[in-house]
Chains A and B, each alone.
Chain A
C-alpha cells in the first residue's frame, strides 16, 4: 500500500478540515491536499500513532510528533486506516542505527563538501580560544582509547598537578568513570568550570585520589581559596543515592570545598512535566484559567527557571567571586550539561553567536556524552530513558534571548531548527549516545553534518536586533530571575498550530528589510561605478558590454517588492528552513517594552512655578 485517497486532515483547534491523499514512503508520510499543498512528516519525528474508534465519517488516526506537531486524519475505510497504522508502527521503530535517515539522506553534495562540513567545529581550537592548555591546565591523553571513561571524549583537560594515578583513582570513585574535567575556562579570573558525575561515596566511603583531584582543581585557581561543588540535584534525591553506594561529597573529607545543592529535578520528572504541559495546551476550547492553572500544575516553567537559576549561580561564582566550580548530578550528562552550557552562554559572548552556539552544543552536549539516542528515542529503546532535557536547554536559551534581545546573533528560528534535527536523525551529529559509539558508526564518513547545513543558510537564523558591541558593555549576562519574566514558548510547543501565531512577523519583516538594505547598498555601489565610468568618458567597447550588464543588474533588483509580506505559508519538514517558517511567528515587537515618555512634564517648568 503506498497511498490512500479521500483522507481528511482535521485542524487541531478549529472545526475546519481539508481532504486529500495520504502517501507513505520509506522515510516520510506525505499528505497532499486537493490544491497540491503537502504536509510532510518524517517517520523519525513520529512519537506515537493512535487509532481511535470508528466514527460515522471514518476511522480517525492521530499522530503525535516529537517536534510537537499533532495531526488528526480521518480515513474513510477502516481497512485502509489499519493498513497505514500497521505500516507506520513497523516504520516507526528502527532497531539499528543503519535504518536511520541520516544514512540514506543525500543532499546532492560532493564528498569534499561533506568532509569539510564535519571539520567546521574543532573543539581543540575551542579550548585554545579559552586559553587552555596553559600553565595550570593541560591536555591529558588518559582517555585516548576510551579506556578510563567510555562516555567521555578522547581529549580531556585537567589541572597540571593532577597526575595519571590521581585521574585513574578519581575516575574509579565516580559513577560511570566520569571524573572531574575542565569544560570552560574563564580567562579573566583564571577560574574553571569542571564537570563530573556523582561520587561513589555511599554513607562513608572516601577516595584520596578524588580528594586530590578536587584539591588540584582548587589549587589551579589562585583567586579563590575554595572550589564550589554544585550538586544540581534536589538534596533528597542525592541522599537517596547514598543507599545505592553513590551520593555526594562530604565537606569534611574534601578540604576547601563549598558544597551546594541546586535542586533541578530528574529526567523522569521532566518527561512527565512536559507531557502534562502538552496535554494542557493541546486541549480545545481552553479557558485562560485552566491554561494558567495547567502551566502551574505541570511545573514546566518552574523547572525551566530552576535550570536558569542554577546557571546564574554558577556564573556569579565564576565571574564575581572568581572561584572555580565543579558541577555534577548523578551521571553528569543531563542536568550537568544544561547548567554548564547555560552558564558558559551567560559568561562568554562567543557562545551567543551562531558558530559559538554550535561549538557550545558540540562541546557540552555531544562530546561529553549527553545520551541523545536514548533521550530522543532514536532507536526502539527504553521509554523511561526518554526525556526532553535538551529541549529544555533550548527553551532556557530562548528565555534568555527574550530578556536580552540584542545579545544573541541568532533568533529563535535557529533553536527551533536545531530541535527539529535533533529528532529528525537526518544528520549524523546527534546520533548515538557518545563519541566512542559515533566513531564506531563512522558517522563522519557516512552522514552529513547539521552545522554545515545551518551555516550555509545562516542568514535565515540571524537576529536583526543583534548588536555585536553589546558584548563589550555586557560581557556577562545577568538575567532576571523573577517568575514573571519566564514565558510559555508558544513557537516551540505550538510551532505547527498556525492559528495561534501572529499573522505578521516582525522578525521576518526586519530581516527582509535588512537584506534589502544590503542589496540597496550594492546597487548604490554599482550605480556609482557606472556613473564614474560615464563621467570619465572612458567607455571602450569591452567596457561598454560590462556596463550594460551592470545596468541591467541594477535595474532588475528593484527593492520595493522585497518588503512585501507573504502570509500563511505552510512549512514542510524536509529541508525546512527558516524562511519557510514565517507563520511560526516573531515576538520581537512586544518584548521591547515601553519607552518612557520623554519630558512632557519638564516642558512646563515655568508654569508649574506660577501656580503655587
Chain B
C-alpha cells in the first residue's frame, strides 16, 4: 500500500492552528505518510510536527465552507485546525483518521525513521540480560542464567534468558511453566544486596477449582528461601478476585502446598478499569467548568489517585518484606504482565539507588517492562480520547510513571533524572519514532527485527546533551532505601502530564530554569573559579617562599 493513495489532499494553504495559551499560527498544512505538518513559512515561528500515531481522535465541525478539525493527541494535547474549503477539510480529516489507525506494523514510523543525530551508543545493546547477570554474579552464586526459553517455546512473553535458582534444572522450569499462567514461571526480578533477599515474579498458578498442585513449582520457589526462613507471596488481587480466577483455571498458592510462604492480597485493579479511570481523569482535567465541587467530585470519581495509592502501597509492602522483614517475596496477579510489573519495578525504585539514575532507570524499564513482557503495543494503542471501544488498552505503564513521579516529588534530590524523563517516556510509549516500545514481548520484537530496522530510544537518550536536559540538577546520590508517604494528602495530581496543556506553563518553566541556573552557576562556574584562584595563590606562595 502506498501512503499517497491515502492522502487525497496533501497540502492546504491558509490553515489556522489554535492551541490553548499559545498564539495562533496561520500557514500551510501538509500531510505526509507519518506526519501532520503546519508551517507558517515565516522565520522564527515554530512549526507543528505531529506524528499521526500520536493522534487519538479527531472531531470535525463546519461553519459555512470553513471547516474545523479538532485533533486530540495521545499525549493529551488538544489542538484546533481551521481549514478553508469543505472538501479539503473532509479529505484531510479522513486521511488523518486512516493514517492514525493503521494496523499494519510494518508501516509504522520507526521503520522509516532515520536518525539525524549521531548514535554514540546503540541502545539496542545497552541493556543486555547477560550484562545484568554479571552484576548479580558478583554478588551471589545462588543464581544461574537459564536459556530454557531460547526459542520462546516455554513462555512466549519471557525473554530467551532468565535468572533462576542455581539448583533448579531446566526440566523443572518447563514443568513449573506449565503450571503458571502464560507459562510465566517464577523468575528473579531483584536481588537485595544488603541482606541477600530476593523478589521474584510470575503468572498466577493454574490450580483451578480442584486445587491442582505442581511439585516442581513448589520446589522452584522454595529453592529461593534460606533454611528455616519464610517468604511472602504478594497477590496483587483481592481474595475474592483470586478466588473467582479459580473458575477460569487460575488461582493462588494454598497454605497447604506452600507452607513456607505467607500470602498477602492487595487490590490493584485490572487493566480495563484503569483505562476507564484515565478517560474520566482526563475528562475532568479538560472540564472548563469553574465549579470547585464539580472538579473535586469528578477527580474523585475517576479513582486515578486511588490507583496510584494502591500501587504505591503494594510496592512499599513488597519492599518492606524484603528490607525490613528480611524475607524473600514472590509477586503475581493474573497474567503477571501488568500489576505485577508495577509492583516489582516500584519496589526496586524504593530499595535500589541504582534504579534512580538515568542509566539505571532505563535498565529497569528494559528489564522489568520490556524484557518482562508488558504488552506495550496493546496497552498503548489508544489513549484517553479515543472513541473506539477499548480492547486491551490500559495506562498501566503511565500509572507506574505517575508513582515514580510521586516518589520523585517526595525525594527531589535522590533521583538523577527530572520529571522530564518520565514525561518523555510517557510520550514515547504512545507514539514514537523509535522502535523501543513496539511489539508486546521480546519474541515479537525479535520477529520484527527491530534492533536492525529501527533506532532505539536509548540511543537518543544517552547522548550528552539529552542526558543533561533530563538531569535533575539537585541530584546527590542517596544510597538509602526511600520510603514514600502514601497518605492521600501526600499524593498529588501529576500536573506535568494531566494539566500540561491546560495553561501557560511558561512561567513555571522559567522558574525551573532559574533554579537550574542557580545550581549550575554554583557548581560549575564559581567552584571552578575558586579552585583556580586557590591554585594560583598556592603557586604564588611557593614562589614567594623560594624568594625568601
Residues of A within 8 A of B (CB): 13, 281, 286-293, 295-296, 299, 301-302, 305, 309, 404-407, 464-465, 467, 470, 474, 480-488, 490, 494, 499-506, 509-510, 513-514, 516-517, 520-521, 523-524, 527-528, 530-531, 534-535, 559, 563, 565, 587-595, 597-604, 606-609, 611-612
One of B31, B410, B502, B505 near A484 (C-beta < 8 A): B502
Is B247 an interface position by the 8 A CB rule? no
List 13 contacting pairs A-B, 8 Å CB cutoff, sorted by A.
A289-B300, A291-B489, A296-B297, A405-B507, A487-B492, A494-B489, A502-B409, A503-B410, A509-B474, A513-B518, A527-B537, A535-B540, A611-B34
Residues in B neighbouring A598, C-beta threshold 8 A: 469
In the complex, the answer to whether B529 meets A289 with C-beta atoms within 8 Å is no
In the complex, the answer to whether A611 meets B112 with C-beta atoms within 8 Å is yes
Is B488 an interface position by the 8 A CB rule? yes
In the complex, the answer to whether B522 meets A517 with C-beta atoms within 8 Å is yes
Bound together, the chains give a CA A587 to CA B509 distance in angstroms of 15
Chain B positions 228 through 254: 1 when the CB is less than 8 Å from some CB of chain A, otherwise 0? 000000000000000000000000000
In the complex, the answer to whether B522 meets A506 with C-beta atoms within 8 Å is no
In the complex, the answer to whether A301 meets B292 with C-beta atoms within 8 Å is yes
B278-315 residues at the A interface, CB under 8 angstroms: 284-285, 288-297, 299-300, 303, 305-306, 308-309
Residues in A neighbouring B309, C-beta threshold 8 A: 287-288
Residues in A neighbouring B285, C-beta threshold 8 A: 484
Question: Residue of B at shortest CB range from A591?
Answer: B508
Q: How near does chain B come to A276, taking the closest CB pair, in angstroms?
A: 14
Q: How near does chain B come to A527, taking the closest CB pair, in angstroms?
A: 4
Q: A288-B488, A513-B519 are in contact. Are A604 and B116 (CB under 8 A)?
A: yes
In the complex, the answer to whether B511 meets A530 with C-beta atoms within 8 Å is no
One of B4, B502, B510 near A406 (C-beta < 8 A): B510
In the complex, the answer to whether A483 meets B412 with C-beta atoms within 8 Å is no
Bound together, the chains give a CA A290 to CA B488 distance in angstroms of 9
Q: What are the 9 A-B residue pairs with the smallest beta carbon separation, nearest first?
A: A592-B512, A483-B295, A594-B496, A291-B488, A292-B300, A601-B49, A405-B511, A296-B296, A527-B533
In the complex, the answer to whether A534 meets B508 with C-beta atoms within 8 Å is no
Bound together, the chains give a CA A455 to CA B128 distance in angstroms of 58
User: Of residues B291, B488, B514, which shows the largest number of chain A Cβ atoms within 10 Å of its Cβ?
Assistant: B488
Question: Residue of B at shortest CB range from A485?
Answer: B503
In the complex, the answer to whether B476 meets A565 with C-beta atoms within 8 Å is yes
In the complex, the answer to whether A500 meets B503 with C-beta atoms within 8 Å is no
The stretch from B174-182, B209-217, B384-392, B418-426 touching chain A is B418-426
B477-513 residues at the A interface, CB under 8 angstroms: 482, 485, 487-497, 499-500, 502-503, 505, 507-512
One of A506, A531, A590 near B540 (C-beta < 8 A): A531
One of B31, B296, B411 near A483 (C-beta < 8 A): B296
One of B113, B308, B427 near A607 (C-beta < 8 A): B113
Question: Residue of A at shortest CB range from B483?
Answer: A503
In the complex, the answer to whether B537 meets A502 with C-beta atoms within 8 Å is no
How big is chain B's contact interface, by range? 35 or more
In the complex, the answer to whether A608 meets B290 with C-beta atoms within 8 Å is no
Bound together, the chains give a CA A598 to CA B509 distance in angstroms of 13
Q: How near does chain B come to A294, taking the closest CB pair, in angstroms?
A: 9
In the complex, the answer to whether A406 meets B511 with C-beta atoms within 8 Å is yes
In the complex, the answer to whether A486 meets B411 with C-beta atoms within 8 Å is no
Q: How near does chain A come to B380, taking the closest CB pair, in angstroms?
A: 17
Bound together, the chains give a CA A534 to CA B544 distance in angstroms of 8
In the complex, the answer to whether B522 meets A482 with C-beta atoms within 8 Å is no
In the complex, the answer to whether B522 meets A516 with C-beta atoms within 8 Å is yes
Question: Residue of A at shortest CB range from B117?
Answer: A603
Is B433 an interface position by the 8 A CB rule? yes
Q: Using A290-B488, A589-B419, A612-B33 as known contacts, list a sample of 12 further A-B pairs with CB atoms less than 8 Å apart, ordered by residue number in A.
A: A288-B303, A301-B296, A467-B514, A484-B284, A490-B489, A500-B489, A509-B474, A521-B526, A593-B499, A595-B420, A601-B35, A612-B10
Bound together, the chains give a CA A483 to CA B305 distance in angstroms of 17
In the complex, the answer to whether A607 meets B502 with C-beta atoms within 8 Å is no
In the complex, the answer to whether B306 meets A534 with C-beta atoms within 8 Å is no
Bound together, the chains give a CA A299 to CA B291 distance in angstroms of 11
Bound together, the chains give a CA A607 to CA B433 distance in angstroms of 11
Question: Residue of A at shortest CB range from B474?
Answer: A509
Residues in A neighbouring B288, C-beta threshold 8 A: 482
Residues in B neighbouring A407, C-beta threshold 8 A: 507
User: Of residues A13, A587, A589, A591, which shows the largest number of chain B Cβ atoms within 10 Å of its Cβ?
Assistant: A589
In the complex, the answer to whether B533 meets A531 with C-beta atoms within 8 Å is yes
Residues in B neighbouring A535, C-beta threshold 8 A: 540
Residues in B neighbouring A305, C-beta threshold 8 A: 292
Q: A287-B306, A467-B510, A482-B503 are in contact. Are A531 and B495 (CB under 8 A)?
A: no
One of B32, B409, B460 near A589 (C-beta < 8 A): B409
Residues in A neighbouring B515, C-beta threshold 8 A: 464-465, 506, 510, 588, 592
Bound together, the chains give a CA A609 to CA B411 distance in angstroms of 45
Residues in A neighbouring B492, C-beta threshold 8 A: 487, 590
Residues in A neighbouring B414, C-beta threshold 8 A: 504
In the complex, the answer to whether B296 meets A503 with C-beta atoms within 8 Å is no
In the complex, the answer to whether B511 meets A465 with C-beta atoms within 8 Å is yes
In the complex, the answer to whether B489 meets A465 with C-beta atoms within 8 Å is no
Residues of B within 8 A of A (CB): 3-4, 7, 10, 31-35, 37, 47, 49-51, 112-114, 116-117, 284-285, 288-297, 299-300, 303, 305-306, 308-309, 405, 408-414, 418-420, 423-424, 427, 433, 460, 469, 474, 476, 482, 485, 487-497, 499-500, 502-503, 505, 507-512, 514-515, 518-519, 521-522, 526-527, 529-530, 533-534, 536-537, 540-541, 544
One of B303, B419, B485 near A500 (C-beta < 8 A): B485
Bound together, the chains give a CA A604 to CA B50 distance in angstroms of 12
In the complex, the answer to whether B502 meets A499 with C-beta atoms within 8 Å is no
One of A287, A467, A470, A611 near B3 (C-beta < 8 A): A611
Question: Residue of B at shortest CB range from A290?
Answer: B488
Residues in B neighbouring A588, C-beta threshold 8 A: 511, 515
Q: A288-B488, A517-B526, A607-B114 are in contact. Are A404 and B507 (CB under 8 A)?
A: yes
Bound together, the chains give a CA A464 to CA B474 distance in angstroms of 14
Bound together, the chains give a CA A530 to CA B505 distance in angstroms of 47
In the complex, the answer to whether A612 meets B32 with C-beta atoms within 8 Å is yes
Bound together, the chains give a CA A592 to CA B505 distance in angstroms of 8
In the complex, the answer to whether A608 meets B35 with C-beta atoms within 8 Å is yes
Q: A293-B297, A296-B297, A520-B530 are in contact. Are A590 and B507 (CB under 8 A)?
A: no
Question: Residue of A at shortest CB range from B509?
Answer: A595
Bound together, the chains give a CA A603 to CA B510 distance in angstroms of 24
In the complex, the answer to whether A464 meets B541 with C-beta atoms within 8 Å is no
User: Of residues B288, B515, B519, which shows the largest number of chain A Cβ atoms within 10 Å of its Cβ?
Assistant: B515
Q: How near does chain B come to A496, taking the closest CB pair, in angstroms?
A: 13
In the complex, the answer to whether A286 meets B495 with C-beta atoms within 8 Å is no
Q: How near does chain B come to A164, taking the closest CB pair, in angstroms?
A: 45
In the complex, the answer to whether A531 meets B536 with C-beta atoms within 8 Å is yes
Q: How near does chain B come to A186, taking the closest CB pair, in angstroms?
A: 23
Residues in B neighbouring A609, C-beta threshold 8 A: 32
In the complex, the answer to whether A527 meets B505 with C-beta atoms within 8 Å is no
In the complex, the answer to whether B505 meets A517 with C-beta atoms within 8 Å is no
In the complex, the answer to whether A604 meets B113 with C-beta atoms within 8 Å is yes
Q: How near does chain B come to A159, taking the closest CB pair, in angstroms?
A: 35
Q: How near does chain A come to B547, taking the closest CB pair, in angstroms?
A: 9
Q: How near does chain B come to A16, taking the closest CB pair, in angstroms?
A: 13
In the complex, the answer to whether A465 meets B491 with C-beta atoms within 8 Å is no
Question: Residue of B at shortest CB range from A603?
Answer: B116
Q: How near does chain B come to A502, taking the closest CB pair, in angstroms?
A: 4
In the complex, the answer to whether B497 meets A503 with C-beta atoms within 8 Å is no
In the complex, the answer to whether A531 meets B537 with C-beta atoms within 8 Å is yes
Q: A504-B412, A510-B518 are in contact. Are A608 and B507 (CB under 8 A)?
A: no
Question: Residue of A at shortest CB range from B434?
Answer: A600
User: Of residues B31, B293, B489, which shows the largest number of chain A Cβ atoms within 10 Å of its Cβ?
Assistant: B489
In the complex, the answer to whether B292 meets A486 with C-beta atoms within 8 Å is yes
Bound together, the chains give a CA A505 to CA B485 distance in angstroms of 15
In the complex, the answer to whether B489 meets A520 with C-beta atoms within 8 Å is no
Residues in B neighbouring A601, C-beta threshold 8 A: 35, 49-51, 433
Residues in A neighbouring B289, C-beta threshold 8 A: 483
Q: How near does chain B come to A515, taking the closest CB pair, in angstroms?
A: 10
Residues in B neighbouring A523, C-beta threshold 8 A: 530
